[in-house]
Structure 1
Amino acid sequence: MPERLSTSLEYGVESLLDHGVMKFPKAGLLATSESRSWNGIAAELRAHPAGEIPDICAQQTEITFAVHGSAGGSVQRRGNGQLQITPSRTGTIWLCPSGIQEDHIRITENIPEVLHVYLPPSQLDIRSESTSHRPEFGEAFYRAGLEDEFVRQICLRIVAELREETSGGALLMEHLAMALTAHLFDLSDRASRSAPRSPETGALDRRRLRRVCDYIETHWDSELSIADLASVACLSRYHFSRAFTAATGETPGRYIGRRRLEHAAELLRRTDISLTDIAALCCFSSQTAFAKAFRRRFQQTPGAFRRRVRA
């Protein structure tokens, strides 16, 4: 198990995962996004033993989700003088905004699987593209036992991506980071204001959509980001993701993942390029991850697909 983790993410964040190393020195690391090239978000899946967790002041927003909780245990934590005691059962959600000083965290029973999602402060810059000021989470957003199905489903999707990498996973995670940030601000707004915020709507027009799709077809074998695609569409990152999904019925990550696998199938049909090289072209971190994603898409392994189409 690694002693030290580091990652390089966009938006000026160099070591989101170092937070987990410092905060959870005794927790077992089950999975990490360290080598996944995710932008604007990082995640870890950990096994937490009962005991105390060191004092720390968060430098990024942390969302914690009990994937597999404990039956009768609880988490006791105190941030900026606010004490919270929450059952650590499966599905429990904790929020900790950046700048909160936690001087007491105690886990009363072992928690087998806990997801930690980290959003850097600069993720707020994306949200500020659609507002007149740079928003921030306040101390009141230090919450435990949050009941929110949207956050829960995003956490479950992140867990699934950590456990089994997909072709468009990096793009999907970037999209989810923005959706999660926007949703958390909506929660914060509703807590402080009675008037709900009107959602933004509108799909990409045909001309912009064609331009973006053409760009994806030209660069499908390169690392793509939401920022790249938004620039092609001449939109902000925040508005682009919504508009693209409205126009295609797929998130940018899912669309790119599908097209990469379709290109992979064409390479298997028409060339002798090795499976390892095709996996790399499709931006997978390993041939195993590529084979799993390909099988989900085509119901057979890349090798079996190549043999069948050439028979």
Structure 2
Amino acid sequence: MPEEKILTVDFAHQDACSEILPRSPLLSSYHASWKGFRLDHHQQPAHETPEHSSQQHIIAISLQNNVTKAERVLDGRFQYENIINGDVAVIPANTHHISRWQSEGKFLLITLEPAFFTRAILESGDFQDVDLIPHFARPDLLIQQIGLALKSELESDGMGSLIYIESLATTLCIHLLRHYCAFSETSAKLSKDKGLSRTKLRQAISYIHENLEKELSLVEIADVVGMSMYHFSRLFKQSIGFAPHQYVLNCRIEKAKKLLSRTEITIEQICQQVGFHNQSHFTNVFRKLIGITPKAYREKVSQ
């Protein structure tokens, strides 16, 4: 008898989830401007997926409050699983996979394009012969936090900072490299550079301050100093103690504080001048960092 063909799923397509799951995702980043990775939030009934493989790496993150009994066949290996909140399964691209669970399941799926993942690895150091290894469900607090942070950004109606979203995806790739990959002993270790040169740091900071009103991306800032996204992000934090997205956010709020205290322009206009998509998002971030709303801050400094 001819060998049964395994279903191949391509998450670059909008309806890819429907090939293996009975319900559409509750939330998806498919239409967001995220490049190289995708997030889907699911609530699915008890189900058994067909045997399949994906063209992307899949990171499945459980959001279950109660224990869910499940079974998984991963790369030809079988395992019973008692899945709880925060458990993470890693299914590399082109790995044969079957999953069945006995009650309603709530989970996130992060799909990474292999090229995106490989680029993050190469940019982090001179690694060779690195392979992402299949892993059955197990707790991983950092991946859970990254997944929830991406979900939160997506729920902000696309108003989240692209540079922050890119930073989360890069952090995920490096975490996978360190804890879910096999590589040869001759692979180089992560660079131990102490930070950016004064020239490159000055270039990056100047570019950020000159473009605060724009949607800055990590790739864009890194290009200014002629570095890879990951390498720049790590060295920038080593130089000033803040990740690039944190520094950009702080700069935007500091500029907003000056405009609130020294000008009569409206809060809505200030919001646009410091790079926020809407006044609600601006107000929430301002309150989080300063402790009061922009309106209250303006009233306080004008007394």
Q: Quote the residue 2:225 is aligned against.
A: 233
CA RMSD of aligned residues (A): 3.3
Q: Quote the residue 1:26 is aligned against.
A: 23
Report the CA distance between 1:167 and its aligned residue: 7.8
1:117-156 → structure 2 map (5 Å cutoff): 117-123=110-116, 124-130=118-124, 137-138=131-132, 141-156=133-148
* Count of aligned positions: 291
Q: Deviations over 1:7-35 (max 9, x none)?
A: xxxxxx99476544554441551x44456
Structure 1 distance, partners of 2:30, 2:271, is 19
Q: Deviations over 1:179-209 (max 9, x none)?
A: 22122123344x4556886332221122211
Kept after mapping to 1: 8 A contact 2:219/2:229: yes
Structure 2 distance, partners of 1:39, 1:283, is 21
Q: Quote the residue 1:108 is aligned against.
A: 102
Structure 1 counterpart of 2:288, one-letter code: R
The verdict on how the C-alpha distance between 1:238 and 1:32 changes in structure 2, with shifts beyond 3 A counting, is: same
Kept after mapping to 2: 8 A contact 1:36/1:170: no
Which residue among 85, 92, 95 is the counterpart of 2:90? 95
Structure 2 distance, partners of 1:132, 1:307, is 54
Q: Deviations over 1:231-276 (max 9, x none)?
A: 222222221111001111111111112212222333334242452x
Structure 1 distance, partners of 2:85, 2:120, is 31
- Identify which range, 116-125 or 258-267, moves more after superposition: 258-267
Q: Which runs of 5+ in 2 are unaligned?
A: 1-9
Report the CA distance between 1:114 and its aligned residue: 1.7
Structure 2 distance, partners of 1:211, 1:266, is 23
1:80-91 → structure 2 map (5 Å cutoff): 80-91=75-86
Structure 2 distance, partners of 1:77, 1:272, is 59
Report whether the alignment pairs 1:64 with 2:60: yes
Kept after mapping to 2: 8 A contact 1:49/1:110: yes
1:149-298 → structure 2 map (5 Å cutoff): 149-163=141-155, 169-189=161-181, 191=182, 193=184, 198-202=189-193, 203-269=195-261, 270-275=263-268, 277-298=269-290
Report the CA distance between 1:130 and its aligned residue: 5.0
Partner of 1:38, secondary structure, is coil
The verdict on how the C-alpha distance between 1:48 and 1:288 changes in structure 2, with shifts beyond 3 A counting, is: farther
Which residue among 34, 38, 47 is the counterpart of 2:43? 47
TM-score normalized by structure 2? 0.80
Kept after mapping to 1: 8 A contact 2:11/2:55: no
- Identify which range, 245-254 or 170-179, moves more after superposition: 170-179
TM-score normalized by structure 1? 0.78
The verdict on how the C-alpha distance between 1:143 and 1:254 changes in structure 2, with shifts beyond 3 A counting, is: same
Q: Which runs of 5+ in 1 are unaligned?
A: 1-12
Partner of 2:138, secondary structure, is coil
- Identify which range, 261-270 or 204-213, moves more after superposition: 261-270
Kept after mapping to 2: 8 A contact 1:168/1:253: no
Structure 2 distance, partners of 1:151, 1:35, is 23
Q: Quote the residue 1:304 is aligned against.
A: 296
Identity %: 26
Partner of 2:239, secondary structure, is helix
Partner of 2:174, secondary structure, is helix
The verdict on how the C-alpha distance between 1:146 and 1:107 changes in structure 2, with shifts beyond 3 A counting, is: same
The verdict on how the C-alpha distance between 1:82 and 1:17 changes in structure 2, with shifts beyond 3 A counting, is: farther
Kept after mapping to 1: 8 A contact 2:86/2:141: no
- Identify which range, 291-300 or 162-171, moves more after superposition: 162-171
Structure 1 distance, partners of 2:148, 2:42, is 14
Structure 2 counterpart of 1:116, one-letter code: L
The verdict on how the C-alpha distance between 1:21 and 1:271 changes in structure 2, with shifts beyond 3 A counting, is: farther
Structure 2 distance, partners of 1:84, 1:27, is 27
Structure 2 distance, partners of 1:283, 1:74, is 46
Partner of 1:122, secondary structure, is helix
Structure with the greater alpha carbon radius of gyration: 2
Structure 1 counterpart of 2:102, one-letter code: T
Q: Deviations over 1:24-53 (max 9, x none)?
A: 441551x44456533443323322322234
